[in-house]
Amino acid sequence: MAKIIYTHTDEAPLLATYSFLPIIAAYAKTAGVDVETRDISLAGRVIAQFPDRLTEEQRLDDALAELGELATKPEANIIKLPNISASIPQLKATIAELQSQGYDLPDYPENPQTDEERETRARYDKVKGSAVNPVLREGNSDRRAPASVKNYARSHPHSMGEWSSDSRTSVATMGHDDFRSNEKSVVIDGDDTLSIVHVDSDGTETVLKEGLAVLDGEVVDATFMSAAKLDEFLEQQVAKAKADGVLFSAHLKATMMKVSDPIIFGHVVRAYFADVFSQYGEQLAAAGLSANDGLGAILSGLDKVEGGAEIKAAFEKGLAEGPSLAMVDSDRGITNLHVPSDVIIDASMPAMIRTSGQMWNAEGKQQDTLAVIPDSSYAGVYQAAIDDCRTHGALDPATMGSVPNVGLMAKAAEEYGSHDKTFEIPAAGKVEVRNAAGDVLMSHDVEAGDIWRACQTKDASIRDWVKLAVTRARASETPAVFWLDETRAHDANLIAKVHAYLEDHDTEGLELSIMAPAEATTYSLERIRKGEDTISVTGNVLRDYNTDLFPILELGTSAKMLSIVPLMNGGGLFETGAGGSAPKHVQQLVKEDYLRWDSLGEFFALAASLEHLAGYADNQRAKLLGDALDRATETFLNEDRSPGRKLGTIDNRGSHFYLALYWAEELAKQTEDADLAEAFSALAASLRDNEQTIVDELLAVQGKPADIGGYFRPDPEKAAAVMRPSTTFNEAIASLV
């Protein structure tokens, strides 16, 4: 039987799954399609790392490894929902919750001293940060707004803040002594094995990484950020924000870039509270309180520190005397510096640009902002967008064009700062990348505390990326721009490959060009304002940034995008949008039994998955299901059945009911399969006849706390009961099976 794998992930997407998955399974069964689940949640990944410490009932297979292997096979059909890319505080919170649920897990060792602690740390490091996506993404990304969503956005434009020509908002970036300026890049000649070696000033060598397999034609980069120059830069920006009377904010990606960016975040916290760390830094370090974990973790740990009240008062003084901080939650006093994973650049910068270039201050009011993005690799993209809005005013969602994306990400391409090739340098000296023969391919002179990183990009991934760009440009008859900067080492190597591999394709009549990211941003925005579309063909990080920036401006959210990953060996991975707002949705559900999560991305992914399966398995009914779901989703949008904003309106569960109703009605109307039409005619009639009863049952539970049995690992029975409160609806769906 044909099979779709639906992933169990985290937070709001996981809770929505408890409601939506029974509908999917029942409908798919009519086409002979099984829908299976795999647990790749943060909690599930943690549990899978420690089978030796758990009971047989508690153990979980390594579902991520299983799916990673499946993704290399032509039969792969995986629907991947947003998952937590864990920061250290999130990982620690997950461990604590699992321990409270009876799982015999070790604490996370901050500074492992024994072999056992180092082995424990290595296991936990496997699930930190963006651990899921590099494993599953055995293909490059094709992400765009479906026509139904774009049409809806034009007829129901979302709100945009008004821009002023005298806005003082700007981006601050280093521009020197950072990752971009120090980058070196080589193209590997023949399969090889590399090592990364630190040579200190007296010649002592320490192997940081060995056995790094590389393939012929692979692009390998190495670079570093100077810690001393970073501190100088941050000191200047704190002073500038204070002098200019604007909010100070830092924008990083401490989840995806799980090694480098928490360290940079720690530098930001120490720069803002320079006097506090000058006076109390040793005490904080001795107590295990790290700036890398954010101000919130430090403040919550001061109760156990001698003189903690005095140190807390020093932090409060620092907040009062420093520049005003951008806030994550003004009502609760949560600042931009509280939690490294609270302010993620690809979500926070578009939201700021959408709302007049402003962020929220401590009084809950919007204010012009200095957005600090230390590394200059892509900071210019956001400055270009700010400059455009300051000059031309806010974009108009009713008339603006679109920027679909073709993203290079196959086989962990360009995984900067994330995994096993990023290091905080322990001592002055140099870091060398050597081949198996001992030749030095790249070398950097470094100081203690510098952040050094390397990354790989497979030649096969680049070839496939170029092919996908040409395919999308031809299919949509849309200009495509490769966002590559010839003055940057990595990009220069990619540009040479792009020119070479474009010759393998028929590009006659296509508008293909190469522009540096800031220039490409300005060009795309010029076209957007004329209602024209432009495909952005980008590397992995810009894929992440662009597929939030432009959708948030166009649609108000990045969760409504169609995200397809054509896997290189013929299978399909279908992603369902961004999960940046997921934590707040869970908090609201627990507080008042109302889930605002919008599953529209899941609807799009499922339709694409069914279409792909129909072709692979020659399953006509799967095609009918997918086509009907597309039509139902358009009705869903036109009838405005997405979750409302307040109690008393339908939430995620109600939106699933209406999708099921419209989907059943579309299947009942189709004329190609009489038996299928008959089966869904009865269901459609039942759902339509009982519409008010079902809606009333769904609304009746709102307004009081909901018990789901855990945040990172909810109790399945409790979560299902909360997310399926309509007996009438449940019985109707069950009748289809």
> What values do phi and psi take at 657, rounded to 5?
-60, -45
Looking at residue 87, its pLDDT comes to: 81
Per-residue pLDDT at 341 exceeds 90: no
Local confidence band at 656 (pLDDT 50, 70, 90 cut-offs): very high
Neighbours of 445 (CB within 10 A): 11
Local confidence band at 623 (pLDDT 50, 70, 90 cut-offs): very high
Q: Over the stretch 233-261, which tens digit does the pLDDT of each residue have?
A: 999 999 999 999 999 999 999 877 888 99
Task: State the chain's mean pLDDT as an integer.
Answer: 94
The arithmetic mean of pLDDT across residues 294-319, rounded, is 94
Q: Which residue has the higher pLDDT, 1 or 496?
A: 496
Output the CA torsion sign for 530, 534, 539, 543: positive
CA distance 658 to 632: 9
Record the pTM: 0.85
Looking at residue 334, its pLDDT comes to: 94
CA distance 239 to 323: 8
Burial state string for 548-562 with b = 16 or more CB within 10 A and e = fewer than 16: bbbbbbbbbbbbbbb
Q: Over the stretch 535-560, which tens digit does the pLDDT of each residue have?
A: 999 999 999 999 999 999 999 888 78
Per-residue pLDDT at 418 exceeds 60: no
The arithmetic mean of pLDDT across residues 686-704, rounded, is 97
Local confidence band at 131 (pLDDT 50, 70, 90 cut-offs): confident
Looking at residue 128, its pLDDT comes to: 83
Looking at residue 561, its pLDDT comes to: 83
With pLDDT > 70 as the criterion, what percentage of the chain qualifies? 99
Looking at residue 476, its pLDDT comes to: 93
C-alpha of 186 from chain center: 28
Per-residue pLDDT at 97 exceeds 80: yes
Q: Over the stretch 391-414, which tens digit does the pLDDT of each residue have?
A: 999 999 999 999 999 999 999 898
Residue 107 in tokens: 């604490």
Give which of 554, 171, 163 is closest to 382, Cα–Cα: 171
Q: Over the stretch 585-620, which tens digit does the pLDDT of each residue have?
A: 899 999 999 999 999 999 999 999 999 999 999 999
Q: Per-domain residue ranges for the chain?
A: 2-138+567-734
